[in-house]
Structure 1
Amino acid sequence: MMCRSKPTSLLLPLVFISALCTHFSTRVSATPCPTERYRFAPRAPRAAEPQEFLDPTGPDFLLPQRPPSCSLPLLRHDFGDTYGRPPATAAYAPPPGCPAPWARVVLDLSVACAGEQYDRIAAVWLDGAELLRTSTAEPSESGVFWRVRKDITRYAALLRREEGGVASMMLENIVNDVFTGVYHVNVSLDFYMKEEEPTPGLESQYHPQLMLRTSKGASLIPNKRILGESKPQLEQKLGLSSSEADISTGAKAKVPSLYREPADMIIPISSNDSQTGFWFRIQNESDVHFKRIQIPKNAYRAVLEIYVSYHSNDEFWYSNPPNSYIQQNNLTTERGNGSFREVYAKIDGRFVGSIVPFPVIFTGGINPLFWEPVVALGAFDLPSYNLDLTPFLGLLLDGRPHDLGIGVTDGIAFWLVDANLHLWLDSQSSYVTARLLHYQAPKISISRRSISHRLNGTFTIGAGRKSYFSGWVNSSIGNLTTDVNFKLKFKSLVGFTDNGNRKEVQMKAKLKTGVQIKEGPKAILAQGSYKFKYPLLIVSSTLPAENNTYRMTTNLSHILSEQTLVMLDRGRTYNSITDQQKADGWMLVQDHSVLAGSAATLQTYQYRDHTGFSYSRRVTAEDGLLLSDNTTVF
């Protein structure tokens, strides 16, 4: 629901309140306007002792279960009144007792907080390259705490540098007489020198990724045994004749080992002004931020990893109405521009790839009662997104500087975005040659439809994009061609009924990327297919209550679905992840404070792979207490 009057709101760092309105407006509606961003009013703690919060989205079975070979304290800081201040920093040097190469490196973040406080956005960088994007839980007087473990082996090129570097963490917070919560943070790195013996069905989890799909992905190639079809069957499926297969045998022998390894160099695509954090702050759709780079002449593979989060007027971008609705009803909110967003990358002004971000909900969003003690999908470890730029090495390997930029289609204030350019270098040659063969990137197709009468209205958006890039790189591995096919489908509905008191949000995003590595026109050495779906449904109804309060009832369904198929030489790996949350409840709100309410949340996580291994976890919570947490492995 929206109304005409503008609130007097407290400006908060990074994650703003961004209220629509806060008080009664009889001219428009019989109810006040919900803000979609809240905090808990002072209340009796639900638990006498500090309570642990959790994010079941990142299951522990994907990380090493044994003690690390060594653990390195990286940064310890109390984030009190840090708004407007530079990030906390600490010197980093590789652990002397655990020299590279490492089998695995895991970042371990621990946070504790007690008091009254809003949620905050935070990030950890090493020399300007982002390692983790995270957000905080909203604390209670008795205190909350949580832990985030993330595999950062892919950043080994930064971690192993003998000269070390500088680790930074940004978490802007306000502490005063009202907001008393201080976030106590400890960051350490765990190094594993050798792989532990794989658990049956989990061989692939302990090996670096083939194509760096996402920071959490598992498109992995097992070392110990080859699974899948026999060589003749696989070659037939890939369209290889026996003669072509024989010709490509040499390259086939090299591709698996080289493409398993993390990048040899990582170039941060981030702000040079570290005093405000290394992320770019994007204010509108024309605000494209560039970093001028020059890459080594022997780079044979390139992947751009993008980190992104959205705040203020665009925190709930997937629920924003069009500007016409706001103007026709004389609304004062700036939360508009429709409900579609696309994050894209450009090289020297040329489009090279894009993604629709997964709609992460922070712990103060929609209904904060949903997110205690189980936070929303990805809230503690926001996903990163990868674009394979290998076909564009023909443009970048000319020895000249190039501008690599990031922007947001239809974006409004504000987005925090940065990226890491992962480069693989040919150790056998000081330079390689490359050429862009095919470039097909039509403009995105967007259709919009609006039907409205006063505060009631239905607004739909459909968007689609297809792109195809192909280029060859001639290195010591061979003359390999990389084909990248990308397809995006997006549908959105934002509807208001009952004079604006009932709001329904439906969003469906589908992304599919296909990557092929070939020697010659038909000799496919490796190929991967990566599919992502994330539907979202939110239905909220608002009714007036006494003493300038309102009661909001909300139902939510949120799903993250991933499917990965990778074929390399004689083997094939497959895995699928389905992560779903369902929540419903009500809350009594005054201004931005939740005075009372009740809510229940159910989360189910399912993982399956090509070995027949299956992992599932089912977590239920109600009224701030964890009721059950059951795991099944078979």
Structure 2
Amino acid sequence: MSRPVIMSTLAGVILVASALLGAGPAPAATASVAAHASGALAAPVAGPADVPAEFGSDWHDPVTATPPVGRPSGKSCEVTLAEAQFRDFTPYTGTYTPPSGCGDRWSKVVLRLEGKVKGRQFDRLGYLHIGGVEILRTSTPEPSPDGIEWSVETDVTRYSYTFRRSQDVEMLIGNVVDDTYTGVLDVRATLTFYTGRPAVTPDRVLTLEDGTLTTPRNSEHVIAEVYATGSGGGCEEVWYLTVPGEAPYSCKAGDGPYREVQIKVDGRLAGIAAPFPTVWTGGWSNPFLWYVIPGPRAFAVKPIEYDLTPFAGLLDDGRPHRIDVSVVGAPEGQSGWSLPVNVLVRQDAKRSHVSGALVRAEAGGLTDASTYTPGPRNRVDTEGRHRLTVAGYLDTSHGRVLTTVDRTLANSSTHRWTEGEDTDGLEATWTDDEAVTVDGRGPAATTRTRRTYTMDGTTTLGADDRLRTVLTLGDRAVVTEASGGRPATWSRLDDTYTGDATYTAGVPRDQRHAVATTSERYRLHGPADCYDRSLVTVQGVLTRDRAGC
């Protein structure tokens, strides 16, 4: 039996478009911070006698090793944003009203999504908007026949400006329910507001109007967020596997798999970024990999961030400016990417107008080369690279400030497959290096972020129709800060997922005789902090949940 390797099953789902390092899904059974520090077991786990020989009709609720969002002590207020059952592509609409008992300046705001589903269903993508601002982009787990529950938590304090007034709410997790796919997505979304010392947050949170942005005339720090996702059921869901047109493979797109998300201001290139290679919970032809532990970022998509402060001198003229976001490498004229934009602005409180200018915008040549080599194992080798430097100054109330952003992207991948794609494998690495230097009052300060994403996996269909997938995914980042050339602080993230799953393809669900071992280890270190949690599952049973540094 030969078949095209479709690495995700988000078929037919089209996102309707209108976060940082610590934002992510909450564990289904979350341990306390003290338990993590002490190395105690974070949750009850099964022993060897409790592990079945193969998957049954139920399994452990989804869980991730991602750190829980820290919650301050003291008074809090909860507001329900949405309660809905998604059966189709009809959005939930409602009205958000700010909390009445916690003021309008908060120390933290936490978004929590709780969901449950049972039966049979694909993985689905969704969003949550308040006042047009996207505060969550998410995907769902695939259910067991008996049903599962899951939750996602993210820190959304940076959107506090949006939360201070009543707003329209729109939420959608596009779904199809019929005689075969019976799973109805039952979800509830809430915001919890914590009093105490107010957090420092952007003065404005803006969205685009007809593709244009109008900022306050005293804007002195401008960050654009783009929740970039390849989606819609086509090959852009698995863009990292696409090949050039001359190669005999089921997913052909453009010149190959290199993708780059660009943002332009009035037609001028203002930012570049590598998209994260998200694997959804039906990915790599093998949903048994993800029933308990999803891949990194699958439940809470992190937005790409672009520092547009070098362009603030242009933006601060009070006029609308064209903002375009596009994906290099995606086939022209084809859908497949959703690119909603939020813009976070900090203003100069002592000036009504801040003047300035863009003084440098230099883009290196874009390298995007894919080479196809035919043979018993077809092969596509891809190398991509791009660099952009932009700099601009502002004359603020506290003096002239020069902001320089330098970003370098690189991608290297090798894709091998046999005729009929009975064996299909990819080894790929993406790096996204960014340095932001702010030179004004006091010593120049530089923040450097080195992001590295990795994917190494192979799917094989044997003569007995047993389909096996072995896969490792990596999400890593190192952030360093320096002032006056001297190191100030640093943090290091390493989130690694591994999985090995096998089942019989082309038979009813109850005849698949599936087995799988999956694991995740999430480590986050800094000068004064340490988080380290490991999970292991076997046949859908959680056999290890240990934390400690």
Alignment check: 8 A CA contact 1:589 1:596 kept: no
Change (3 A) 1:400 1:408: same
Q: Deviations over 1:566-598 (max 9, x none)?
A: 235898221111010111121211189683321
Q: Give a deviation string over 1:381-418, Cα, whole Å, max 9, x none.
A: 11111110000112222232211011111114411111
Match of 2:159, SS state, is helix
Query: Does 1:430 find its partner at 2:352?
Result: yes
Which of the residues 89, 96, 101 maps onto 1:92? 96
What is residue 551 of structure 1 aligned with on the other side?
Answer: 466
State the alpha-carbon separation in 2 of the partners of residues 10 and 426 from structure 1: 45
Code of the aligned partner of 1:365: G
Identity of aligned residues (%): 26
Q: Secondary structure at the match of 1:155?
A: helix
> In structure 2, how many angstroms separate the alpha carbons of the residues matched to 1:477 and 1:573?
25
What displacement does 1:171 show? Answer: 0.9
Matched residue, 1:474 = 395
Unaligned runs of 5+ in 2: 16-54
Is 1:12 aligned to 2:12, yes or no?
yes
Gap change, CA 1:592 and 1:443, over 3 Å in 2: farther
Specify the alignment match of 2:229 in structure 1: 309
**One-letter amino acid matched to 2:337:** W
Return the alpha-carbon distance in structure 1 between the equivalents of residues 289 and 138 of structure 2: 18
Within the candidate set 132, 149, 159, 1:155 is matched to 159
Code of the residue aligned with 2:101 in structure 1: it is: G
Structural mapping, 1:324-343, within 5 Å: 324-326=246-248, 337-343=255-261
Is the contact made by 2:4 and 2:420 (CA closer than 8 Å) also made in structure 1?
no
The alpha carbon displacement at 1:46 in A equals 2.8
Shift of 1:262: 1.7
2:189 equivalent in structure 1: 187
Distance 2:403 2:451 in 1: 21
Flag the structure with larger Rg. 1
| 1-structure distance, mates of 2:58, 2:313 | 59
* 1:368 paired residue number: 287
User: Given the superposition, is the C-alpha separation of residues 4 and 510 from structure 1 closer, same or farther in structure 2, using an over 3 Å criterion?
Assistant: closer
Change in 2 beyond 3 A, CA 1:385/1:302: same
Residue by residue over 1:409-441, the C-alpha shift from the partner in whole angstroms, topping out at 9 and shown as x without a partner, is 111441111111111112222111011111111
- CA shift for structure 1 position 94: 1.4
TM-score by length of 1: 0.75
Residue 523 of structure 2 aligns to which amino acid in structure 1?
A: Q
Q: Which residue of 2 aligns with 1:263?
A: 202
Name the residue aligned to 1:226: none
Determine if contact 1:55/1:378 at 8 Å carries over to the other structure. no
1:76 aligns with 2:83: yes
1:79 and 1:5 mapped to 2: Cα distance?
Answer: 28
In 2, distance between residues paired with 1:175 and 1:299? 47
Cα distance per residue 1:495-550 (max 9 Å; x no partner): 12477432220110111111111128xx53422111100111011211243xxxx3
Distance 1:63 1:457 in 2: 48
On the 8 A contact 2:253/2:330 being kept in 1, the answer is no
Amino acid at match of 2:58: R
**Aligned ranges 1:567-582 → 2 under 5 Å:** 567=482, 572-582=488-498
Q: Distance in 2 between matches of 1:539 and 1:435?
A: 50
**Aligned counterparts of 1:378 and 1:10: Cα–Cα separation in 2:** 16
- Equivalent positions of 1:474-513 (< 5 A) are 474-497=395-418, 500-513=421-434
Residues 148-177 of structure 1, C-alpha deviations (whole Å, 9 max, x = no match)? 11100011111123xx11121111111111
SS at match of 1:596: coil
Q: Is the 8 A contact 2:161 2:205 kept in 1?
A: yes
Displacement, 1:11? 5.6
The 2-side partners of 1:567 and 1:443 are apart by 29
Q: 1:334 to 1:498 in 2, by over 3 A?
A: closer
What is the alpha-carbon distance in structure 2 between the residues aligned to residue 98 and residue 341 of structure 1? 44
Aligned pair count reads 500
Matched, 1:108 2:25: no
Alignment partners' CA distance in 1, 2:11 and 2:95? 33
Change (3 A) 1:444 1:5: closer
1:119 aligns with 2:119: no
Runs of at least 5 residues in structure 1 that lack an aligned partner in the other structure: 16-42, 196-206, 209-260, 273-289
Give the SS at the match of 1:324. Answer: coil
Q: Is the 1:117–1:139 Cα contact (8 Å) retained in structure 2?
A: yes
1:395 aligned onto 2:314: yes
Q: Deviations over 1:553-577 (max 9, x none)?
A: 1111111111111235898221111
- C-alpha distance in 2, partners of 1:500/1:425? 55
CA contact (8 A) 2:244 2:370 kept: no
Taking the aligned partners of 1:333 and 1:513, their CA distance within structure 2 comes to 31
Q: Does the residue aligned with 2:247 lie in a helix, a strand or coil? A: helix
Paired letter, 1:53: P
What is the aligned counterpart of 2:527 among 610, 613, 628? Answer: 610
Q: 1:14 to 1:67 in 2, by over 3 A?
A: farther
Residue 46 (structure 1) aligned to one of 55, 58, 75: 58
Matches within 5 A, 1:131-280: 131-161=135-165, 164-194=166-196, 261-269=200-208
Q: 1:154 aligns to what SS in structure 2?
A: helix
SS in structure 2 at match of 1:181: coil
Does residue 457 (structure 1) correspond to residue 457 (structure 2)? The answer is no
Q: Distance in 2 between matches of 1:382 and 1:4?
A: 27
Match of 1:282 in 2: none
TM-score by length of 2: 0.86
